[in-house]
């Protein structure tokens, strides 16, 4: 998240927070009720804090901005009403972030807005996997979204995956959905898979997988063989060294 300060008033027309004595926040963004700003990823949210000149506040009273209770650093010329903060581009971590503006002399004289950032699960493209028989196969989809997806369906070659028949295990923690086979069998697990999610706001999103299963390769036990060769060589050297004197006498 970047914090920027716009030099001109950007059509800040919509009141997007409950007005308290002396301080209010306005925004040009689409606004829902009760001080919640509805926005999307990569958008820009501009906020303007105003002190009410009709209240008992001093006209040159400084304003303070907070993001989730942490003070936002402001330029000197941006500390007086109207004070501006710009969130650009909006990212996932901004979802649920609360921005508060209050008088520097009276923190109770404040107004707040909260961002509701909507986004779909990042599902797209084709992932190609090559696995050996009897190895572990893991297919994973990132399904984190706001609002949450209402369903996740896994298919193989156009048909819904039969977990019992194919030996797959399915997990879903609301962030990722995984299709796992602990021991791959070529006849069961080779094929084209898809992870299909449905969101009430964004509709269907899909990711594709192409799984190729190869024959199991017998691993050559290289390290034990190297160790054995070293032992044999050392034994031979010691044996020759122990009989060296007898060998030299025979050669005279």
Give me the pLDDT at residue 225, please.
63
Residue 128 is predicted with a pLDDT of 97
CATH number of the 126-214 domain: 2.60.40.10
**Does the fold of domain 126-214 match that of domain 2-118?**
yes
What are the sequence ranges of the domains in the chain? 2-118, 126-214
State how far the Cα of 233 lies from the Cα of 211, in Å rounded to an integer. 46
Entry pTM? 0.70
Bridge partners (DSSP) listed for residue 3: 87
Q: For the domain bounded by 2-118, which CATH number is listed?
A: 2.60.40.10
Tell me the pLDDT of the chain (252 aa) as tens digits. 444 433 333 333 333 333 444 788 888 666 666 789 999 999 999 999 998 755 454 557 899 999 999 999 999 999 998 999 999 999 999 999 999 999 998 998 899 999 999 999 999 999 999 999 999 999 999 999 999 999 999 999 999 999 999 999 999 999 999 999 999 999 999 999 999 999 989 999 999 999 999 998 766 555 666 666 666 666 666 666 666 555 555 555
Give the integer Cα–Cα distance in Å for 227 and 200.
62
Compute CA 233 distance to the chain's CA centroid, rounded to the nearest angstrom: 55
């Amino acid at each position: 998240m970047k914090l920027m300060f716009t030099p001109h008033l950007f059509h800040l027309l919509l009141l997007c927070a409950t007005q308290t004595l002396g301080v209010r926040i306005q925004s040009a963004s689409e606004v829902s009720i009760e001080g919640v700003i509805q926005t999307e990823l990569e958008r820009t949210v501009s906020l303007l804090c105003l002190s009410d000149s009709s209240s008992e506040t001093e006209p040159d009273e400084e304003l303070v901005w907070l993001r989730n209770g942490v003070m936002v650093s402001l330029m000197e010329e941006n500390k007086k009403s109207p004070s501006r903060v710009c969130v650009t581009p909006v990212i996932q971590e901004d979802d649920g972030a609360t921005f508060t503006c209050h008088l520097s002399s009276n923190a109770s004289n404040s107004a707040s807005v909260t961002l509701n950032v909507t986004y779909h699960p990042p599902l797209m493209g084709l992932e190609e996997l090559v696995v050996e028989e009897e190895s572990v196969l893991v297919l994973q989809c990132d399904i984190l979204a706001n609002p949450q997806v209402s369903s996740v369906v896994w298919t193989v070659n156009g048909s819904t995956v039969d977990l019992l028949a194919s030996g797959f295990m399915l997990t879903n923690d609301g962030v990722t959905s995984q299709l796992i086979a602990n021991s791959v069998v070529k006849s069961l697990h080779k094929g084209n898979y898809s992870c299909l999610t449905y969101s009430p706001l964004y509709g269907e999103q899909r990711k594709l997988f192409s799984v190729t299963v190869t024959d199991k390769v017998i691993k050559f036990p290289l390290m034990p063989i190297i160790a054995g060769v070293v032992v044999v060589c050392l034994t031979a050297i010691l044996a020759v060294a122990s009989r060296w004197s007898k060998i030299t006498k025979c050669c005279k």
